[in-house]
Structure formats: C-alpha cells, structure tokens
Amino acid sequence: MAFTGQCAVHRGQLMRLHGAYRDAISELEHAAERYAAAGGSPAVGQAHYECGEALRISGNHDAAEAAYAEAAGYGHPAQPGRALLWLARGRPDAASAAIHRVLAEVRDPVHRSQVLPAAVDVLADVGEIEDAASLADELHGFGSAFGCTALRAAGEYATASVAVATGDAEDALAAARSAADGWSRLSAPYEVARCRVLIGRALRLLGDAESAAADLDEARRAFASLGAAPAEHDVAKLLGDARAPGGLSPREIEVLRLVAAGSSNPEIAAALVLSEKTVARHLSNIFAKLDVGSRTAAAAFAFEHHLV
C-alpha cells in the first residue's frame, strides 16, 4: 500500500505522455485516493498536479484549475502548469508574473529543468523573447548534461520556439525536426504534434507554403485524435480555419452557438430554417464529437473555445 499510489502516479504520467488522457486522469484520481486513504503523502499533491496537466491539455480548464488547487492544498507546487492554464485563458500578465516568480525560487538543476519548458512557452508567447532565449539555452544545456532524451527534445523545442519568434527560420526548422525525432522515440504524440506546428511555421517563414500547410494539417489531425481541443483550435487558426475545434462542421458550430445562447430545439430549427429532426441529429453529432452528455456541457465547450 505504501508504494501503490506512487506507482500509479508514474503510470498516469506515462499515460499522459503517450496521449491517453482519459486513462491518465482515471489512474491519477485513483492514485490520489489511495494515498489519501493511507494517511496522506506528497504523492497525493503530485497526482492532482499531473491530473491538472492532462485536463489542461484536453481543454477542461475549470477542472484543471481545481486539480491545481488540490495539488497546492497538499503542498505540491501548482506551477508551471497553472501559468500555462492562465495563458490559455487569456491572462498573459498573470502567467508571466508566476513564471518569473518560480524561476527566481527554483535553483537546483533537477527541479529547474522541470520548469524551463513551460517558462519558455509562456515568455515566448507574451513577447519576452530575450528571457525566453536565455532559458532555452539553459534547458538545452541541461538536456546535454543529463543525457535525457526528453530533456534534449524539450531543449530543441524551446530553441525552435524562440527561433520562430525571432524569424530565424532555418535554425527553427532544424531544431523543431530534432525535437520531433526525440519525442517520436518516446512515443509522445502530443509533443510530436507541437513540433509539427513549429515545423509548419518555420516552413512558412521560408516561403514553402504548401509544405507548411501539410505539416500544420498533420498536427491538427493529431491533436483532434488525442482530444487536445485547445491545441487543435490554435492550429486551425494558423491554417485560416477557426471552425475546427472538436472537428465540428460549420453547421454544427451554428447549432452549438444557439445552444450556448439558451435556445431550444424548436427555436434553433426556426432560426436556421431546419426541421426539429435535423436539429436533433446535429445535436447528437455535436455531443458525440465533443464527448459530452448535455446541452450545458456543450455550451461550456463553446464558451471555452470562444465560439460565442
């Protein structure tokens, strides 16, 4: 019993790495329960934090926030995951402030290496490119020093991210491809898809629009298959098609917007000049694609992905 929860946390981490988010969340929730039942342990907080990471990637932001809060309540740091969540929810100043605070506090190489990938993501996104570049170099150094495939891949990704932000397309392309190779060897589909996005952006900077579109579309399909809705939506915008979250069609988006506005099926049918049977079919398809079971949950998805 003393080790069951810790092993379950590691299983959950591996499930998340391999893109099995539902299984990871279930495993991590059970891990937290086991350790709490055994009298509590730092692993309870870690399980909640890892659960928050899987929920954040899946786009379930409210549940992710709650999981990070549970982690903090058990004494486990809620950062840097919470900063990434704040960034996703349109709070760049809060995300940047949190990252700078954590970087000032965390000095030992092992824990710092766990913070740096998210730190580069946040600072590059908010335009603090010089700081992001410095941290990317530091992370790259840790990857070489530790001899860890994941850290090497994370360092290459960080380097590529900064290079894209500064318009250095050739360096970005080389680093992103190296990162994709590293994550592929670890069977980490979400990370590989993120690398594909950077490859596509670098190819665009080099003027190769067709190849860029192919890589971006491959990334979008990977995110869709994983259920990583926020990342899928971001790639859709890069492709000039913001209708894509959840794989919804334009008509399904129209129906969902009216559901989010509180319209009934007859009201939706009247507004879109459809039969109520057709509206019901669209709703059934929407629920299936979004994996939700109610109009309330579907409306929450619409608000979360800025469809209304």
88, 13, 216, 236: CA torsion to nearest 10: -40
CA atoms within 13 A on the CB side of 231: 29
- Beta strand ranges found along 100-246 (DSSP E): none
Q: Other CB atoms closer than 10 Å to residue 247's CB: what's the count?
A: 17
Whether residues 94 and 41 share a domain: the answer is no
**In terms of Cα–Cα distance, which of 13, 3, 2 is closest to 188?**
13
Structure tokens at 3: 């080790």
Q: Give the mean model confidence (pLDDT) for residues 216-226.
A: 92
Q: Which residue has the tokens 């590293």?
A: 182
Domain count, the chain: 3
208 falls within a domain: yes
- State whether 117 and 235 are in the same domain: yes
Question: What range defines the domain where residue 287 resides?
Answer: 250-304
In the predicted structure, residue 15 carries a pLDDT above the cut 70: yes
Of the three residues 227, 243, 259, the one that is the final residue of a domain is 243
* 83 within a domain of the structure (yes/no): no
pLDDT above 60: residue 2: no
| Mean pLDDT on 122-145 | 95
For residues 226 and 302, the model is more confident at 226
pLDDT > 90 fraction of the chain, expressed in percent and rounded: 69
CB 5 within 8 A of CB 43: yes
List the CATH number of the domain containing 264: 1.10.10.10
pTM value is 0.77
Long-range contacts of 45-48 (CB under 8 A, 24+ apart): 45/70, 45/71, 45/72, 45/73, 45/74, 45/75, 45/76, 46/9, 46/71, 46/76, 47/5, 47/8, 47/9, 47/12, 48/74, 48/76
Q: Give the range among 5-9, 106-110, 179-183 with minimum mean pLDDT.
A: 5-9
| 60: DSSP letter | -
Q: How large is the average pLDDT for residues 179-187? A: 98
Flag whether 233 is in a domain. Answer: yes
* pLDDT value of residue 254: 83
Of 243, 275, 296, the position where a domain reaches its end is: 243
